[in-house]
Structure 1
């Protein structure tokens, strides 16, 4: 093990060098976004030689995809827990899912904005996910469970409801992303209570 590589692992976390590199890239993304993020900058911050990265990742895109995934998990760790099916009221639970989705999208927007023109990184990000772990999957799972419990109509089109909620969250952050620099967003944030009311009109038993 080279002296630089050994020094990079003396952080008391017990992480492998691969984990250290992902954590370093994730921290840099959280602090400054992805624009202009280079292998050299990541290696320097991690305390290793540039070429070390290629001993642990197929390419820069794999490292960035994994770092983006770690960043999403970090943002989610700071959000409120999502409600369990069958607890509380449907209104409260849908409101919690929508506010969670809005906070998540706003939290990851700066990082994702820099990847709009990098489909290869976004493909690696998508491939690094675990089925069922993304918020959209959990939202759909929640709605299906409520339908199974009889708290939603037997024929409730929960897939369409989930798509509507995710679309509202996307729209809320895209207005910020595409607003001219220094100007307010083109549209206000969504009326969560009104959205909940519309959704329940269509899916509640």
Structure 2
């Protein structure tokens, strides 16, 4: 191993590659300061390597940032831990868990993604990178469909609409904190889940 690489990886795990080190460094900088002021030189200095080292592993800065975003999003999904399976506990309790996980995920991911809206090429490359982490939205949709198959929610329930409500709440709660002069409306998670499960039409119309 070269002295430069050894310096860059000092204190890191033995099996950490230089590419992984660069991605981790860029991921941390994205989370801490956003993408607007990130430069190749800044990433290289934070990683403890010469500027040109980045180009040994990535064709350009956008490719490195896309890999860093992918790592950040995957880490946020892993942090959610296992989510309830259909048939476990109660539907109400499980949907609370999914909503809580969705809010945590969006709080971790949206600020980073929002900081890259001015560089759509990075986001395009990010979506093209493989991942072994199932998306929270897909897990939520599968959960609702599974409960419908088990008969724990109505057989004609529009699970896609129910999922859209929960996803929309997560977007609203986080995006409002990113826009100047806006703040999220207070949301009672219990009230949200109750509304999703019971609907808002008069009971005589639902009967």
1:176 corresponds to: 177
Residues in 1 aligned to 2:83 and 2:37: alpha-carbon distance in whole angstroms: 35
Q: Which moved more, 1:134-143 or 1:3-12?
A: 3-12
Measured on the aligned residues, the alpha-carbon RMSD in Å equals 2.1
1:118 corresponds to: 119
2:7 corresponds to: 7
Q: Which moved more, 1:152-161 or 1:90-99?
A: 152-161
2:186 corresponds to: 189
- Please state how far the C-alpha of 1:63 moved relative to its aligned partner: 1.2
Segments of 5+ residues of structure 2 without an aligned counterpart are 200-207
Superposed CA deviations along residues 99-135 of structure 1, whole A, max 9, x for unmatched, are 1111221222332231122211111222225376111
Is the counterpart of residue 92 in structure 1 residue 93 in structure 2?
yes
Secondary structure, in 3 states, of the residue corresponding to 1:36? Answer: coil
User: TM-score under structure 2 normalisation?
Assistant: 0.85
Residues in 1 aligned to 2:157 and 2:64: alpha-carbon distance in whole angstroms: 41
Query: 2:80·2:101 contact (CA, 8 Å) conserved in 1?
Result: yes
Query: 2:74·2:131 contact (CA, 8 Å) conserved in 1?
Result: no
Residues in 2 aligned to 1:126 and 1:174: alpha-carbon distance in whole angstroms: 20
2:205 corresponds to: none
Segments of 5+ residues of structure 1 without an aligned counterpart are none
Query: 2:31·2:112 contact (CA, 8 Å) conserved in 1?
Result: yes
**Which structure would you say has the larger Rg?**
2
2:21 corresponds to: 20
- Please state how far the C-alpha of 1:32 moved relative to its aligned partner: 2.6
1:52 corresponds to: 53
Superposed CA deviations along residues 62-84 of structure 1, whole A, max 9, x for unmatched, are 21112112222333444454212
2:33 corresponds to: 32
